[in-house]
């Protein structure tokens, strides 16, 4: 269906107001100021819905998507502190050291953990690491340590991310803003690739190109990927590239692209079961082998005896210790408290992960019709189950759902991308206390929209 639209003054006004909202988010909204943050996000999402509803012309939308992202270019992230760990890992990678081998607290002396004095030249342990690093890098690590939000955990960022971190920290080892600028440019390049791939895939599937704006103008995507420097941007770009190459019949290149996606975030592994019936077992095994080989090559520079053990430790901690903005897990946790008197996360977390795997295989087996055009829809449902069963759902995790919804008739992911801003209420205090009433509002709204859409589509089938 061809959507004819013209750029009107009201579109310009809406875009200018959007720019003001994003500017305030980027330059004048600390994460702890929840009411201000929520109000600005509400304005941004309201204008986003208006622009899509009034059919903003595609060309104007693409230009606006770029300009709204460029607003963030010269500013440090203020809604996420993950970039400090990016710089830490990057400093090690840039100097030929393995960021997966040691935790930050293993590289810093006990005195640093109690009271950090960046000017103290004895701040790092007398180790081979200190001997290999220039004095200015030791000083930077000492300065970064108290800013890390996870100094007691091994790095969880796969090699493609580490390459970006190493590039940024190698170019700007002592300049925080310089390193952030490089990382943001990497994200912007990935988003540009995503824009091109969305348009190409929409044309290939015979769908309106205008739908690309659902992702490209989405406030969650703009704020969390470009603004807060989350590398789901690269994962989405490589994942869409893998799908586009599959549609074009270039399976080996597609497998390589999927390997790059997995080398950025492990999540794209969930796409593999959906390829079995589309490719057949023989081609599927070959495809998986190529993708696996690419992942192996990416990890090769970091291979050590400790690598698999430390990654396993990180994944075990993820599924049995951390919790944030969960849904099904919080219900089960409450039941566990009632029955046993304490948090059963060590049982519930791994159990939900296994349930996700079973349901993902069930969706792959039950999928109809099995064609390339329906793969985004089934993958959307697979990831939705994954996040509903997850014990940690940070806002930026939902960006892939927004991208996949572009190819479907389902809009609940767009609603979720707006409602997930309620989870920022946890950061109003240093104790990170979640408001379960707000989380209930978030998930009940999303589930109500999902149920309505499933019923509507079942009736029209």
Which tokens sit at 409?
């008739």
> In which band, very low, low, confident or very high, does the pLDDT at 131 lie, cut at 50, 70 and 90?
low
Q: Is the dihedral of CA 157, 162, 166, 167 positive or negative?
A: negative
3-state secondary structure of 392: strand
Mean model confidence pLDDT for the chain: 90
Q: What would the 3-class secondary structure string for 283-350 be?
A: HHHHHHHHHHHHHHHHHHHHCCCCHHHHHHHHHHHHHHCCCECCCHHHHHHHHHHHHHCCCCHHHHHH
| pLDDT at position 432 over 90 | no
**Coil, helix or strand for 108?**
strand
Cα separation of 457 and 407, whole Å? Answer: 15
For residues 90, 92, 97 and 103, what is the CA-based torsion angle, rounded to 10 degrees?
Answer: -110
pLDDT, tens digit (0-9, with 9 covering 90-100), for 182-238: 999 999 999 999 999 999 999 999 999 999 999 999 999 999 999 999 999 999 999
Distance CA 364, CA 232 (A): 24
Tokens representing 325 are 């903005």
Percentage of the chain with pLDDT > 70?
A: 92
Q: What is the per-residue pLDDT for 121?
A: 42
CA quadruple 17, 21, 22, 27: dihedral, nearest 10:
130
Q: Which residue has the higher pLDDT, 125 or 250?
A: 250
Instruction: List b or e across 185-213, with b for residues whose CB sees 16 or more CB atoms inside 10 angstroms.
Output: ebbbebbebbbebbbbbbeebebebbbbb
Statement: residue 434 has pLDDT above 90: yes
With a pLDDT cut of 90, the percent of the chain lying above it is 74
pLDDT at 420: 98
Mean pLDDT (whole number) for 270-276: 95
CA distance 287 to 335: 43
pLDDT tens, residue by residue, 384-425: 999 999 999 999 999 999 999 999 999 999 999 999 999 999
Sign of the C-alpha dihedral, residues 82, 46, 235, 454?
positive
**Residue-level pLDDT at 112:** 43
- How far is Cα 373 from Cα 378, in angstroms, rounded to an integer? 10
Q: What is the pLDDT of residues 42-97, one digit of tens each?
A: 999 999 999 999 989 999 999 999 999 999 999 999 999 999 999 999 999 998 88
Q: Exposed (0-12), middle (13-18) or buried (19+): which is 407, by Cβ within 10 Å?
A: buried
If you average pLDDT over residues 11-28, what whole number do you get? 97
Q: How far apart are CA 398 and CA 413, in angstroms?
A: 8
Distance of CA 226 to the CA centre of its chain: 11
pLDDT of residue 148: 92
Kindly state the tokens that stand for 165. Answer: 């971190």
Q: For the residues of 259-284, what is the DSSP string, one character each?
A: HHHHTT-SGGGGGGGGGHHHH-HHHH
Name which residue leads in pLDDT, 226 or 459.
Answer: 226
The two three-digit tokens of residue 396, written as one number = 């930026």
pLDDT mean over 113-123:
44
Does the pTM surpass 0.85? The reply is yes
124 — pLDDT class (breaks 50, 70, 90): very low
Whether the Cβ atoms of residue 51 and residue 15 lie closer than 8 Å to each other? yes
Quick one: tokens of 208?
Answer: 């309106």
Q: Count H helices and E strands in the chain, helices first.
A: 23, 0
Angstrom distance (rounded) from CA 386 to CA 391:
10
Instruction: Quickly state the pLDDT bin for 313 (edges 50, 70, 90).
Output: confident
Q: pLDDT tens-digit profile of 162-184?
A: 999 999 999 999 899 999 999 99
Contacts of 293 (CB under 8 A, 6+ apart): 259
Which of 179-188, 265-274, 275-284, 314-323 bottoms out in mean pLDDT, i.e. has the lowest? 314-323
- Evaluate if residue 317 carries a pLDDT over 80: no
Residues belonging to the chain: 461
Closest CA to 390 of 330, 454, 437: 330
Q: What's the CA gap between 196 and 219, in Å, rounded?
A: 19
Q: Is the pLDDT of residue 120 over 50?
A: no
Which pLDDT score, from 0 to 100, does residue 125 have? Answer: 44
Closest CA to 218 of 425, 12, 415: 415
Q: Is the peptide bond before 2 cis (omega within 30 degrees of 0)?
A: no
Secondary structure letter of residue 4 according to DSSP: P
């Amino acid at each position: 269906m061809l959507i004819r639209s013209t750029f009107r003054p009201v579109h310009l006004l809406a875009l200018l107001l959007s720019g003001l909202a994003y500017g305030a988010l980027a330059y004048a909204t600390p994460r702890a100021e929840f009411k201000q943050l929520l109000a600005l996000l509400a304005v941004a999402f309201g204008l986003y819905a208006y622009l899509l509803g009034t059919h903003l012309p595609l060309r104007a939308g693409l230009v606006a998507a770029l300009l709204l992202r460029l607003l963030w270019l010269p500013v440090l992230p203020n809604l996420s502190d993950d970039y400090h760990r990016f710089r830490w890992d990057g400093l090690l990678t840039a100097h030929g050291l393995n960021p997966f081998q040691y935790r930050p607290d293993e590289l810093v002396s006990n005195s640093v953990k109690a009271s950090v004095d960046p000017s103290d030249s004895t701040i790092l342990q007398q180790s081979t690491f200190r001997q290999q690093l220039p004095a200015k890098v030791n000083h930077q690590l000492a300065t970064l340590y108290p800013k890390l939000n996870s100094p007691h955990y091994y790095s969880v960022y796969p090699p493609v991310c580490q390459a970006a971190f190493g590039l940024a920290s190698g170019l700007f080892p002592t300049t925080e803003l310089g390193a952030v600028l490089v990382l943001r440019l990497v994200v912007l390049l990935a988003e540009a690739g995503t824009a091109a791939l969305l348009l190409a895939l929409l044309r290939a599937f015979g769908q309106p190109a205008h739908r690309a704006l659902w992702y490209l103008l989405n406030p969650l995507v703009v704020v969390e990927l470009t603004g807060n420097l989350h590398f789901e941007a690269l994962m989405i770009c490589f994942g869409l590239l893998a799908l586009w190459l599959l549609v074009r019949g270039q399976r080996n290149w597609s497998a390589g692209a999927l390997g790059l996606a997995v080398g950025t975030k492990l999540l794209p592994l969930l796409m593999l079961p959906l390829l079995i019936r589309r490719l057949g077992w023989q081609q599927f095994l070959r495809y998986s082998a190529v993708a696996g080989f690419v992942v192996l090559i990416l990890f090769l520079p970091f291979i050590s005896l400790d690598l698999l053990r430390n990654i396993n430790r990180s994944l075990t901690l993820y599924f049995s210790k951390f919790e944030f903005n969960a849904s099904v897990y919080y219900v089960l946790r409450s039941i566990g408290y009632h029955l046993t008197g304490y948090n059963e996360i060590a049982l519930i977390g791994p159990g939900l992960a296994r349930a996700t795997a079973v349901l993902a295989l069930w969706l792959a087996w039950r999928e109809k019709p099995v064609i390339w055009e329906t793969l985004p829809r089934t993958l959307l449902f697979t990831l939705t189950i994954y996040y509903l069963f997850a014990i940690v759902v940070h806002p930026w995790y939902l960006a892939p759902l927004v991208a996949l919804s572009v190819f479907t008739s389902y809009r609940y992911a767009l609603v979720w991308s707006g409602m997930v801003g309620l989870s920022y209420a946890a950061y109003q205090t240093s104790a990170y206390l979640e408001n379960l009433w707000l989380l209930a509002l978030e998930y009940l709204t999303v589930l109500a929209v999902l149920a309505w859409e499933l019923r509507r589509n079942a009736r029209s089938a």
